[in-house]
Structure 1
Amino acid sequence: MSNALTRHIAANGLATLTLTRPERHNAFDDGLIVELTAELAKLDADPAVRVVILAAAGKSFSAGADLAWMKRMASYGESENLEDARKLAKLMHTLDTLSKPTVAAVQGPAYGGGVGLVACCDMVFAAPEAMFALTEVKLGLIPAVISPYVVRKIGNSQARRYFLSAERFSADTALRLGLVHEIAPQDEVTVLATSWATQLLNNGPASMLAAKRLVAEVSNRPICSELNDLCAQRIASQRVSPEGQEGLTAFLEKRPPNWVKH
């Protein structure tokens, strides 16, 4: 693992990935994108990992694309840019579809692709110092790769504003838009994120994954007989699953389920 990223897995199953390029405001380049994607895949495949926390060292969460990387991309042809963009798309997809809950601790500014990382996480906790911006159009670019995740979080109307204006917006605004779930003092953000991540350990791992997938399946679909039947199928399958049976039995027997460690 490079000096740009650290990983820590606690005994209780909480894994923390920390961006550690504070001198570059945790901006990412092609190397860090590949490394972060690989580390997320490893955590996803590790049965000992229950929840993943994404954090950053220094004053910034992530400034998005690294300047040196941007200079290299400017000299690339379209095919090279396409391959480069696909690597970033793979990172966002990997984070978004991780089978474990993801919790972001945003202690400082997040710009461009940094907003994409935030939008891909299930729960987001931010400090008042955590400014946000989608500044791509100022450079004659567009936030294409991260757009599905950001638009899903803040909606079409707000995306039109912030994609076009490239303006900075505060943590309070991010909270109102739905990009952030809760705000805490800067020195308490990681503590709060860890506290919520620890609470998630009380929930069934398979049921949390099924719940994540359920949100994706029912989002923006009309409520109709087909959707109602899909939802009925999902709960029926979950009830007869080993985890569903254990959870219901533990509740009736007034004991903790077997996924809760003592």
Structure 2
Amino acid sequence: MENSVLTKINQGIGFITLNRPEKRNALSPDLIIELDKAFSAFEQDDEVKVVILQAAGKAFCAGADLDYIQQMQYFSYEENLADSNRLKALFSKIYEFPKVVIAQVQGHALAGGCGLVSVCDFAFAAPEALFGYTEVKIGFIPALVSVFLTEQIGQAKTTELLLSGELIPSSKSVAMGLITEVVEGEFLEKRTREFAAKLVAENSAFSMKETKRLLRSLNESVRHQALDLAAEANAKARGHSDCIKGVAAFLSKTKPSW
């Protein structure tokens, strides 16, 4: 069985690849654990100056794994809270990672997958990639990502994205500050690697680390408190009748009647 996450290092750049193309790189518990391990390993490796987070296949990440969503319907509040805390820990690790993290988004990034993009420092995306937090459409809440997104792009834009649940193209995503740049698909990998290589060659790794640490420390206590509350809200929402109905409709590929 192939690993859910692949890693390699080349000329100071650490590559982390989501490797579940047949599942559109959906976030399974194993994938979350492997991602956490990959970032931990690169954090300790002095050879790695910059990290590129990329994905195999057509989609970047479709959000939560369908099989796992089915299992979650039977979780207790405590199990849902533990599950939410695992994702919270991963998002926080990437957001506060001491090295620059760049997302290379070749395809759709939805729900939790869009959350992964949001916690990276830079994101380069193909024109055909769609972004969106679709949780409200299935009776769920995008609790964890709301904390990071508000800090990154502001309250008004976050409200628009999270309450509408609409999918937006790369062109609007870059205008909102969700991603850094739109690059034609055939040049996406080249552009992302060139940008990463430029950071490695021209910027002090120490200075980038300390600058990022300073930026992330500005609202650190407030952010951590908000994330704890978000994890609890996430766990509670999973037990609500709207979420149960929405997930059932999602799994049966029908539209819930609200």
Cα distance in structure 2, aligned partners of 1:153 and 1:73: 30
Q: Which amino acid aligns with 1:177?
A: M
Q: 209-218 vs 64-73, which deviates more?
A: 209-218
**Aligned ranges for residues 93-108 of structure 1 at < 5 Å?**
93-108=92-107
Alignment partner, residue 170 of structure 1? 169
User: CA-to-partner distance for each residue in 1:93-129, whole Å, 9 max, x for gaps?
Assistant: 1111111111110011000111111111111101101
Cα distance in structure 1, aligned partners of 2:128 and 2:150: 23
Q: Which amino acid aligns with 1:17?
A: I
User: CA-to-partner distance for each residue in 1:198-246, whole Å, 9 max, x for gaps?
Assistant: 00112111100111122234579xxxxxxxxxxxxxxxxxxxxxxxxxx
Alignment partner, residue 149 of structure 1? 148
Sequence identity (%)? 38
User: CA-to-partner distance for each residue in 1:107-164, whole Å, 9 max, x for gaps?
Assistant: 1100011111111111110110110110111111111122211222221111112111
- Gaps in structure 1 of 5+ consecutive residues: 221-262
Q: Does 1:123 align with 2:85?
A: no
Cα distance in structure 2, aligned partners of 1:68 and 1:150: 27
Cα distance in structure 2, aligned partners of 1:101 and 1:2: 27
Alignment partner, residue 225 of structure 2? none
Aligned to 1:62, the other structure's residue is in SS state coil
TM-aligned CA deviation for residue 9 of structure 1: 0.7
**Aligned ranges for residues 44-55 of structure 1 at < 5 Å?**
44-55=43-54
User: CA-to-partner distance for each residue in 1:50-69, whole Å, 9 max, x for gaps?
Assistant: 11000011111100101011
Aligned to 1:145, the other structure's residue is in SS state helix
Aligned to 2:99, the other structure's residue is in SS state coil
**Conserved? CA contact 1:101–1:208, under 8 Å:** yes
**Aligned ranges for residues 125-140 of structure 1 at < 5 Å?**
125-140=124-139
Q: Does 1:216 align with 2:236?
A: no
Alignment partner, residue 41 of structure 1? 40
Cα distance in structure 2, aligned partners of 1:36 and 1:189: 22
TM-aligned CA deviation for residue 185 of structure 1: 0.6
TM-aligned CA deviation for residue 3 of structure 1: 2.6
**Aligned ranges for residues 1-262 of structure 1 at < 5 Å?**
2-10=2-10, 12-201=11-200, 202-218=202-218
**Conserved? CA contact 1:27–1:63, under 8 Å:** yes
Alignment partner, residue 234 of structure 1? none
Cα distance in structure 2, aligned partners of 1:16 and 1:217: 26
Structure with max Cα Rg: 1
User: CA-to-partner distance for each residue in 1:162-217, whole Å, 9 max, x for gaps?
Assistant: 11111110101110010111111112112111111000112111100111122234
Query: Which has the bigger relative contact order, CA under 8 A and spacing at least 6?
Result: 2
- Gaps in structure 2 of 5+ consecutive residues: 221-258
